[in-house]
């Protein structure tokens, strides 16, 4: 589960940066997810420095290892369009608690985002948590480790 933000002012700052449009985009993606096996839809909204948003959905495959998560779908769409600077990620799921990205998605975030980039996690009924890329993956393997 995502690391809870302890500093109240920091948490308020992160939450104030989330735009309703981004939340709506992530939630609307849930209906587009291709999940015939798990029936576990996930939606994402990735925001770029230029202000563009990229919606992502999870896309399952009968060969489960080929399934792609919503977060990575959003990143790969943006990156394929030439985007390299990201400012916020919103992830939504039909879960009682806010959904949390898998390890592969966290590693992709670490590759393309600053450690302090805000990440908003949403569950059912609008329950939200805010964290950062570093909060999700505190000891990321990056180019400096090569």
| Nearby residues of 107 by Cβ (< 8 Å), 6 or more positions away | 137, 140, 141
Specify whether 71 is catalytic.
yes
Tens of pLDDT along 124-145?
988 999 999 999 999 999 999 9
* SS3 label, residue 55: strand
| Nearby residues of 98 by Cβ (< 8 Å), 6 or more positions away | 2, 121, 122, 123, 127, 128, 129
Mean pLDDT of 98-115: 98
Structure token digits, residue 17: 């940066």
By percentage, how much of the chain surpasses pLDDT 90? 86
Give yes or no for residue 3 having a pLDDT over 70. no
Q: Rounded CA gap, 122 and 90, in Å?
A: 8
Give yes or no for residue 108 having a pLDDT over 70. yes
Residue 113 among known ligand-binding residues: no
Identified catalytic residue from 17, 21, 28, 71: 71
pTM score of the predicted model: 0.88
């Amino acid at each position: 589960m995502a690391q809870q933000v302890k500093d109240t002012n920091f948490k308020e700052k992160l939450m104030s940066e989330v735009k309703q449009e981004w939340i709506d985009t992530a939630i609307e993606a849930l209906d587009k997810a291709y999940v015939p096996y798990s029936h576990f839809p996930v939606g994402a909204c990735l925001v770029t420095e230029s202000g563009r948003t990229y919606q992502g959905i999870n896309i399952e495959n009968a060969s489960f290892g080929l399934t792609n998560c919503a977060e990575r779908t959003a990143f790969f769409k943006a990156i394929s369009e030439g985007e390299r600077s990201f400012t916020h990620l919103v992830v939504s799921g039909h879960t009682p608690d806010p959904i949390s990205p898998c390890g592969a998605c966290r590693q992709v975030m670490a590759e393309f985002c600053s450690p302090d980039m805000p990440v908003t996690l949403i569950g059912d009924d609008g329950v939200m948590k805010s964290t950062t890329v570093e909060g999700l993956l505190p000891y990321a393997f990056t180019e400096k480790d090569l």
